[in-house]
Structure 1
Amino acid sequence: MNPRHEANRNPRQGAHLLIETRGPWEGPACARFLADAVDLARGGDRVCVLLLQDGVTAAVGRPLPEVETLVGLGAGVWVDRFSVEQRALSKVPAAGGTEQVEMDRVAALLLDPGVRVVWH
């Protein structure tokens, strides 16, 4: 695996954590926010996207193309396990390369001073 991609999967110093809480069905804002994450990853930045609340719907069933692009670029795409369970989506396949996570893992990034966080 490309070392740059490996760094993207486990973001740390100088990284971006982008948190999406809106679903694609709410309008184009979700896809645009994820496109911003794609731009950051293509620019060489380390990127991790957390899909939270209704944002998890961007990665399950028929995922948004931006989710698949992020995975292909080596960005971390995390899907909140609690949000998936609350929406009864546990049995719906998620996009390949995404990872279901718990909040303790997210908290570690939120508290890391080298990580820039954007919440949408």
Structure 2
Amino acid sequence: MPDFVLIESSGPASGPAGARFLGDAATLARAGHLVRLVLVQEGVTAALPGAQPALTEFLAYGAELWVDRYALAQRGLEADRLPARARLVGMDEVADELLAPGTRVVWH
């Protein structure tokens, strides 16, 4: 079970706040926390190649990246464009994580 579940719902096109949020996620992972980043809604676009450089740093620390399967499909994006370590998930899996005892959730 992760120490933190961070949920990003805004994509890179919405401004620099998403990059700062991913930077915070990387900082938590670098500090040794188990961090799972869940990309939902427009946030799934952050997983596209080159869209969010902070994502590379985040993954370098061994953190987990989950991408909402439904949101990806709704935007006509293909899963093969995601980083190799990205995991496609449904909202049922995300809900299980949010409701797990001891999980700290931050939604952006």
The reply to whether TM is greater than 0.5 is yes
Contact preservation (8 Å) 2:8, 2:43: yes
2: distance between equivalents of 1:30 and 1:21? 9
Which residue pairs with 1:69 in the alignment? 57
Contact preservation (8 Å) 2:48, 2:81: yes
* Distance apart, 1:92 and its partner CA: 5.9
TM score, norm. by length of structure 1 = 0.84
Contact preservation (8 Å) 2:44, 2:71: yes
* Partner amino acid, structure 1, of 2:75: R
Contact preservation (8 Å) 2:72, 2:78: yes
The one-character-per-residue Cα deviations of 1:3-29 (angstroms, maximum 9, x if unpaired) are xxxxxxxxx16x100000000011001
Which residue pairs with 1:85 in the alignment? 73
| C-alpha RMSD of the superposition | 1.4
Runs of 5+ in structure 2 lacking a partner? none
TM score, norm. by length of structure 2 = 0.93
Contact preservation (8 Å) 1:60, 1:93: yes
**Residue aligned with 1:33, SS:** helix
Where has structure 1 moved over 6 Å in runs of 4 or more? none
* Distance apart, 1:90 and its partner CA: 2.1
**Residue aligned with 2:84, SS:** coil
Selected match of 2:100 from 95, 112, 116: 112
Matches within 5 A, 1:1-120: 12=1, 15-90=3-78, 93-120=81-108
Runs of 5+ in structure 1 lacking a partner? 1-11
* Distance apart, 1:114 and its partner CA: 1.1
Sequence identity of aligned pairs in percent?
A: 46
